[in-house]
A and B are shown apart, each in its own frame.
Chain A
Amino acid sequence: MVHWSAEEKQLITSVWAKVSVEECGAEALARLLIVYPWTQRFFSDFGNLSSPTAIIGNPKVRAHGKKVLTSFGEAIKNLDNLKGTYSKLSELHCDKLHVDPENFRLLGDVLVIVLASHLGRDFTPVCQCAWQKLVGVVAHALAHKYH
């Protein structure tokens, strides 16, 4: 089980309070598809992904981004049981979606960069540290049920 210090929890929740789930989620997913274009392989039914502008404006990308980040919100409420929280999603990503878990790490890193660009100097090194740990642990939880 992952241990979270009081400081880490505080850093995570204080950043989260400043986040627009819809905006940041959409942006994080769009950036994943732009910066790591091979990830588009999982979204072939999303319509037009032909350029950064198309991706950013794509309503399916926005909606899905929001879904993904909303689930992060659940994780933050359940830091002491991430494996449990993500158990079903993990099975889904393995058995139905066939997503290589490496992609979770990529998305996590992209999310951290999105947070940095929105929060500016408030996204201090210790903030980043807590969030890199969070995205790493979420990625691990999502990969946990793979077989």
Chain B
Amino acid sequence: MLTAEDKKLIQQMWGKLGGAEEEIGAEALTRMFCSYPPTKTYFPHFDLSPGSDQVRGHGKKVVAALSTAIKNMDNLSQALSELSNLHAYNLRVDPPRFSLQFLSQCLQVALATRLGKDYSPEVHSAVDKFMSAVASVLAEKYR
């Protein structure tokens, strides 16, 4: 359960990114495709080569969704409702538990490389919990 402190830490952390959010999105995806090749199976229609415009564009989308989620942490279910439908009925990504786990890991690595010590254990914990919560919401309508 996200505490008030967790939410504060997440918002502060996101605020420290100084516009690098979009780059982080693309990087998280790149890392994910590299470390977890099966995740590429969801993007057969994409050019996944380094620096791909499609990956960059998709990274932006992912980060925009996360930004929305961060602004609406008290009501993730509603804020992510559309995305939840999309993942359940159209995309049908393998239960987000698994795939978001990989995206969560890669996003956190991307954040940690930029934030260094600022990606403290407390921030790490808050972000991990947050990504779990996002995954749960996206999985809500699977069955």
Contacts and interface: CB of A to CB of B under 8 A. Distances in A.
B105 interface: yes
B35 A128 contact: yes
Contacts of A121: 113
Contacts of A116: 108-110, 112-113, 119
Chain B contact residues: helix, strand, loop or mixed: helix
B32 to A, nearest CB: 9
Secondary structure at the A interface, as helix, strand, loop or mixed, is helix
Contacts, number: 67
A117 B112 contact: yes
Interface in B120-139: 121-122, 124-125, 128
Given A117-B119, A125-B31, A125-B34, A35 B124 contact: yes
Contacts of A120: 113-114, 116
Interface of B: 27, 30-31, 34-36, 105-106, 108-110, 112-117, 119, 121-122, 124-125, 128
